[in-house]
Structure 1
Amino acid sequence: MTSPVPRPVAVGVDGSPAGLAAADWGAREAQLRDAPLRLVHAWEWQPYSHAPPEGPEAARRWSEGVPREVTTWLRHRYPGLDITAEQLAGPPPEVLCEVATTAELLVIGTVGIGRLAGFLLGSIALATVAHSVRPVVVVRARTAEEVEDRGRPSETVSARPVVLGLDLGRPCDDVIHVAFESAALRVAPLVVVHGWNPPVFYAVGADPAKDTDIATEEQADLRRALRPWREKYPTVDVAEQAVIGQPARHLLETGSRAALVVIGRHTPSPKALPPRIGHIAHALLHHCPAPVALVPHG
């Protein structure tokens, strides 16, 4: 009995440094999963970070060459990796969301615009993240030096944790699964951050004993939610943090040196307009230097 063929890791490439960073991250992920890598370039991708040659025919030839060039670059870096590349016609968010339906996950890039200013999340990336039915990993563009370093073995990279932002008020099994699986694949620790706030009528500090009781209850709820996952992934070293305050702030602090940050994205309607991903996702996608995985859930 043959083993089922694993779903590919899909990557949207557009000829930009952000697309190259996404392709490199996706290749590494495919290697970890022993899965094929599928590179996709959407012909209508706009705006271009590096403008193609003038004229429609020259632009089309340039577009056709993007996946081929990225494939050549990746095969040099990852010999033996099963890579396919193609150009598909259509609006990029629609193309990428369709590609994601048959993929284990979809990887796209975002443009770095400065350490203090945060990162630019374009309308294409936002629409793709908001409407994909599969997990989407958003990877920031890196400098040439960072890209070169990624090609060298590094103990510090493998030691970086996977960070999971967990909202216990929503169904979250799919989100937890992605985080534990990602940590297990990387042989990395998993840090679970659950942000909570006391009832609006309750003043923190007014009753220290009550503060302790609420904090203990939140920690216990988190421990119960993770217990079956600890049993399923016994080799994953898990650290639990039930913290008071805005989850986005804690996730940005914890995730600044992470290998991956995983959060859920609630999906009230697949056709919701304008696309909405939530304030926590916005904060992480614009300011977190680590790759961010958004996992849709009900």
Structure 2
Amino acid sequence: MTAPVVVGLDGSPASVTAAWWAAHAALDRHRPLVLLHSWTTQPLDVPVAQEARSKQRYGRAVLHRTEAELLHRHAGLTVTSELVAQTAAEALLDRSGDCDLLVLGSRGHGSVASFLLGSISLHVLSLARCPAVTVRADDPTVESGWGHPAADGHDDIVVGVQHPGPGSEPLLELAFAEAESQGGRIRAVRAMPPSWRPGVGEGTAETERLCAALEPWREKYPDVPVVEQTAVGSAAPVLLSASAHGRLVVVGRRRRPHQPWRLGPVAHAALHHAPCPVAVVPHD
């Protein structure tokens, strides 16, 4: 069975924008799309009574409306809808073991609140077993519906490669695949700490190390243009500066057996402040 793209949907503007992004991702990846709604986890501003039947009716209506719009827009898209009684966090984490990609809505800069309220979204991002993408409401890079085309000039898939080596491979794999399917360019970013003072030839050596990490992916995706960017500064500001014209930012999350909830500071910064969707990729 082909692993689907799964998007959490509650009817809020953030989740609807996420569903539009997820539909394009599913088409690009030749994957089915699953719209998942937890009727026990709904936004605080949803005007429905507290009775279970009312919440379930609301959930079915949200799923039906969004599925119909996506199918009307994308004739080749395969969509299924799931109304679940689990909390949204539990349902998405369960699905993360057998899906290709999770997609979450975000209400915008300064918070990572989605249809998963507040810190619950961070719970999912910290524990998901597959890459998870957050898409903020009214994201200018996302074609979010009728009369709302994606903004031009956002062509880069920005990927943070702080430690070139095996740990960066899952990030590069996702980034290059996205760049190929979307017709974008890879911008691979590595930050040198402010205290770093290169000696003779060291700056060139660091750039060469980044280039070496990228070489296998250049060979696998020969039609994807690549820009290497090595800069002195803290990793988060360097990455955010590079993402100004990004279409997607790709950051890593280490699998930490003893600290499974922890997202690193670079991932936090990207989720709060990047001007485009952010993919958080687990790696060893």
Is the pair's TM-score, using the shorter chain for normalization, greater than 0.5?
Answer: yes
* Structure 2 gap ranges (5+): none
**Greater alpha carbon shift after TM alignment, 165-174 vs 225-234:** 165-174
Q: Distance in 1 between matches of 2:226 and 2:92?
A: 33
Task: Please give the alpha-carbon distance, in whole angstroms, between the structure 2 residues aligned to 1:238 and 1:160.
Answer: 12
Q: Secondary structure at the match of 2:144?
A: helix
**Structure 1 position 163 matched with structure 2 position 158:** yes
Pick one of 270, 276, 280 that aligns with 1:284.
270
Structure 1 residues 281 and 155, CA, compared in 2 at 3 Å: closer, same or farther? closer
CA contact (8 A) 1:136 1:293 kept: yes
**Alignment of 1:88 onto 2:84:** yes
The answer to whether the 8 A contact 1:14-1:48 is kept is: no
User: Whole-Å Cα distance in 1 between the matches of residues 205 and 91 of structure 2?
Assistant: 45
Q: Within the alignment, does 1:268 sit opposite 2:256 as a pair? A: yes
Amino acid in the other structure paired with 2:131: P
Would the alpha carbon gap of residues 67 and 180 (structure 1) be closer, same or farther in structure 2, given more than 3 Å must change? same
- Equivalent position of 2:229 in the other structure: 241
> Aligned pair in 2 of structure 1 residues 143, 33: CA closer, same or farther (>3 Å)?
closer
Measure how far apart 1:112 and its partner are. Answer: 2.1
**Which of 209, 227, 230 matches 1:221?**
209
Deviation at 1:169, TM superposition (A): 5.8
- Contact 1:77–1:151 (CA<8 Å) still a contact in 2? no
Mapped contact 1:119–1:140 kept (Cα < 8 A)? no
Q: Percent identity?
A: 35
1:141 to 137, 148, 151: 137
State the distance in 1 between where 2:209 and 2:69 align: 47
Q: Deviations over 1:31-58 (max 9, x none)?
A: 1112211111122214434343343321
Distance in 1, matches of 2:208 and 2:179, equals 22
Note the 1:47-66 alignment, pairs <5 A: 47-66=43-62
Amino acid at match of 1:166: V
The CA deviation string for residues 135-183 of structure 1, in whole angstroms up to 9 with x for no partner, is 000000117997347764x6936x6111111121662211111111111
SS of equivalent to 1:87: strand
TM-score, scaled to structure 1: 0.85
Q: Deviations over 1:106-138 (max 9, x none)?
A: 10100026xxxx344321211110000100000
The match for 2:105 is 109
Q: Distance in 2 between matches of 1:281 and 1:218?
A: 23
Distance in 2 (alpha carbons) for counterparts of 1:143 and 1:285: 13
Looking at CA atoms only, which structure, 1 or 2, has the larger radius of gyration? 1
TM-score of the superposed pair, with normalisation by structure 2: 0.89
- Is contact 1:136–1:294 with CA below 8 Å preserved after alignment? yes
Q: Quick one: distance in 2 between partners of 1:212 and 1:31?
A: 48
How many angstroms does 1:212 deviate by? 4.8
Separation of aligned partners in 2, 1:17 and 1:128: 20
Whether the 8 Å CA contact 1:194–1:241 is kept in 2: the answer is yes
Residues 65, 6 of structure 1: CA spacing in aligned structure 2 closer, same or farther, 3 A cutoff? same
Give structure 1 stretches of 5+ with no counterpart.
Answer: 205-209
Amino acid at match of 2:217: W
- Aligned partners of 2:66, 2:84: CA distance in 1, in Å? 15
